[in-house]
C-alpha cells in the first residue's frame, strides 16, 4: 500500500477514534452543579437542599428530599462540593474569608439524616471544588483559596486542621484505590491556561506524573474501568491513562449542550452502564448511555418541554415538541401522588393541580417515544 495512503487512513481512523458521541438525554432539571452516587442513590444539590434519586432503574428514577443544608452558621456561603464515605455525607461550603463561620467541610450521618451536622474541618476550606478520600485522608481542591490541594486526616476526633498536600492550582481530583488523578489549570487573572492532568500513587506517595493536556479548564475527573473521564472546554472526554501518550475521545461536545462539569458513573449488575454529568448552564443533569458509546447524540434541546407558571397556584401549562403520553407527579419523599394515563394528543395543554397541597413536587413527563424529563414544581 502506498505510504501516503497509509497516512491518510491513519488520520481518518484517528479522527473517528477521537470524535465519537454517546446517546444523551436529560435526566433531571432544576439542579445545582454537584452530584455523587452511592449505591443506587444519586445525590444532588438544589439550592441549599439535598435530594436523591433512586436510580436502581435508570429509566424510572424515584426522587426524594434528603435534608436542608441551610443550617445557621454553616452554609450561608452555599454548598459547593459533596462526597460520601462510610455512610457519611460530606459537604463543603463556598465560604467567605470575611466570615469566620463559613468555608468549612461538614458531614451528616446518612442513617440519621435528621441529626445536626458535624464540623469536619477547623480551618477555612474556601471554594472546595472536589472532595475525595483515601484511607484516613480526605482530599480537597480549593479553587478560591489559592487553588491549594489540601488533605485532612479524619480518622480521629473532629474537627481537624488541614495541610497543603500539593502546591498546584488544582481544579479537580478523583481517587480509585491508591491511584489519584488531578487537574491543574493556571489562572493569571485574565486567561485560564490549558488544564493538565496528573497521576499520583498515594500508596508510595510518589511524585506526580503528567498524563494529558486538556483544552482549557478541567472541571472534573472520574476513573472507571481503566478509563479516565473528564470535562474540559470541549465537553465530556475520556482517555486511557496507562498509555504513554493518551489520545482523548470526545463523548459529548459542549456545542449544542452547554458546559458540562461534574461526572458520576453507575455500573449495574446487569452490565448496563450510565454516566451522569451536570450542566450548570441549564441547571440539569444529563444521562449518557455508555452501553452504546458510538450512537449519535440526541438533540436534547428540542426534547425539553416548557412548564409555566412555576411556582403555580392551580393550573400549569405544558408546551412540548413531542406528544406527552403520561404525566406523573411525586412528592419530596418519592411518593407518586398523580399518575395520569391519558394520551395528550396535543403539543400544548393545561393541567389542573389545585388538589395538591402547598409544597415542592417533581413532575415527570413521558413522551410517546418513551423518553422522559423531570421538573421541579412549586405549588403555592
CA distance 292 to 251: 11
Q: Is the Cα torsion angle 310, 312, 318, 319 positive or negative in sign?
A: negative
CA distance 101 to 85: 24
CA distance 212 to 196: 6
What are the average pLDDT values for consecutive 10-residue runs of the chain, which has 380 residues? 41 36 76 89 85 90 82 60 92 63 79 87 77 93 67 94 85 90 80 86 87 90 94 91 87 75 93 92 87 50 70 85 79 80 66 87 76 78
Residue tagged 438533540 (cell numbers): 299
What is the SS3 assignment for 15? helix
Alpha-carbon torsion angle 255, 232, 162, 223, nearest 10: 110
User: What is the CA angle 51-225-219, rounded to 5?
Assistant: 55
Q: Do 23-300 and 305-379 agree at the fold level?
A: no
- The total of other beta-carbon atoms located within 10 Å of residue 65's CB is 18
Residue tagged 491549594 (cell numbers): 148
Give pTM, 2 decimals. Answer: 0.75
Nearest in space to 106 (alpha carbons), one of 97, 128, 146, 172: 128
- The total of other beta-carbon atoms located within 10 Å of residue 317's CB is 15
Per the CB < 8 A criterion, the answer to whether 147 and 168 are in contact is yes
Nearest in space to 276 (alpha carbons), one of 33, 64, 46: 33
Task: Give pLDDT, residue 154.
Answer: 95
Per the CB < 8 A criterion, the answer to whether 109 and 115 are in contact is yes
Task: Give pLDDT, residue 294.
Answer: 47
CA distance 250 to 271: 23
The mean pLDDT value of the chain amounts to: 79
| Residues 84-91: contacts with CB under 8 Å, at least 24 apart | 84/36, 84/38, 84/43, 84/110, 85/133, 85/138, 87/111, 89/43, 89/50, 89/113, 90/120, 90/131, 90/138, 91/50
Nearest in space to 233 (alpha carbons), one of 256, 259, 211, 252: 259
Q: Is the domain defined by 23-300 classed in CATH 3.30.450.20? A: no
| Residues 114-122: contacts with CB under 8 Å, at least 24 apart | 114/67, 116/71, 117/69, 117/71, 117/74, 118/158, 119/158, 119/159, 120/90, 120/152, 120/154, 120/158, 120/159, 120/160, 121/152, 121/159, 121/160, 121/161, 121/162, 122/159, 122/160, 122/161
| 77-109 tens-digit pLDDT | 567 789 999 999 998 876 655 454 456 888 999
Per the CB < 8 A criterion, the answer to whether 20 and 251 are in contact is yes
Domain-wise residue ranges, the chain = 23-300, 305-379
Start-to-end Cα distance in the chain: 72
Domain 305-379: which CATH number of 3.50.50.60, 1.10.10.60, 2.60.40.3080, 1.10.1280.10: 2.60.40.3080
Amino acid at each position: 500500500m502506498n505510504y501516503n495512503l497509509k497516512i491518510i487512513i491513519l488520520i481518518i481512523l484517528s479522527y473517528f477514534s477521537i470524535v465519537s458521541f454517546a446517546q444523551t438525554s436529560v435526566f433531571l432539571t432544576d439542579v445545582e452543579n454537584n452530584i455523587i452516587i452511592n449505591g443506587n442513590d444519586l445525590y444532588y444539590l438544589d439550592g441549599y437542599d439535598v435530594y436523591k434519586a433512586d436510580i436502581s432503574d435508570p429509566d424510572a428514577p424515584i426522587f426524594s428530599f434528603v435534608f436542608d443544608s441551610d443550617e445557621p452558621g454553616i452554609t450561608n456561603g452555599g454548598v459547593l462540593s459533596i462526597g460520601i464515605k462510610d455512610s457519611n455525607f460530606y459537604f463543603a461550603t463556598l465560604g467567605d474569608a470575611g466570615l469566620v463561620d463559613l468555608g468549612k467541610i461538614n458531614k451528616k450521618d446518612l442513617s440519621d439524616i435528621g441529626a445536626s451536622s458535624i464540623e469536619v474541618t477547623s480551618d477555612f476550606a474556601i471554594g472546595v471544588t472536589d472532595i475525595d478520600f483515601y484511607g484516613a485522608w480526605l482530599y480537597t481542591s480549593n479553587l478560591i483559596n489559592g487553588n491549594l490541594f489540601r488533605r485532612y486526616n479524619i480518622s480521629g476526633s473532629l474537627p481537624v486542621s488541614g495541610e497543603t498536600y500539593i502546591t498546584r492550582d488544582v481544579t479537580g481530583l478523583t481517587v480509585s484505590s491508591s491511584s489519584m488523578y488531578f487537574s491543574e489549570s493556571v489562572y493569571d487573572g485574565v486567561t485560564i491556561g490549558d488544564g493538565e492532568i496528573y497521576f499520583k500513587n498515594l500508596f508510595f506517595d510518589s511524585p506526580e506524573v503528567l498524563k494529558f493536556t486538556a483544552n482549557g479548564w478541567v472541571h472534573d475527573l472520574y476513573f472507571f474501568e481503566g478509563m479516565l473521564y473528564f470535562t474540559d472546554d470541549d465537553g465530556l472526554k475520556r482517555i486511557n491513562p496507562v498509555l504513554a501518550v493518551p489520545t482523548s475521545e470526545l463523548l459529548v461536545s459542549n456545542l449544542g449542550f452547554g458546559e458540562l462539569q461534574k461526572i458520576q458513573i453507575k455500573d449495574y449488575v446487569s452490565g448496563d452502564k450510565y454516566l451522569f454529568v451536570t450542566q450548570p448552564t441549564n441547571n440539569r443533569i444529563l444521562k449518557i448511555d455508555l452501553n452504546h458509546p458510538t450512537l449519535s447524540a440526541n438533540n436534547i434541546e428540542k426534547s425539553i418541554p416548557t412548564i409555566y407558571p412555576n411556582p403555580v397556584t392551580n393550573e400549569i401549562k405544558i408546551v412540548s415538541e413531542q406528544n406527552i403520553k403520561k404525566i406523573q407527579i411525586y412528592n419530596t419523599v418519592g411518593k407518586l401522588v398523580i399518575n395520569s394515563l391519558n394520551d395528550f394528543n396535543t403539543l400544548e395543554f393545561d393541567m389542573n393541580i389545585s388538589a395538591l397541597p402547598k409544597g415542592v413536587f417533581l413532575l415527570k413527563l413521558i413522551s410517546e417515544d418513551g423518553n422522559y424529563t423531570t421538573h421541579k414544581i412549586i405549588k403555592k
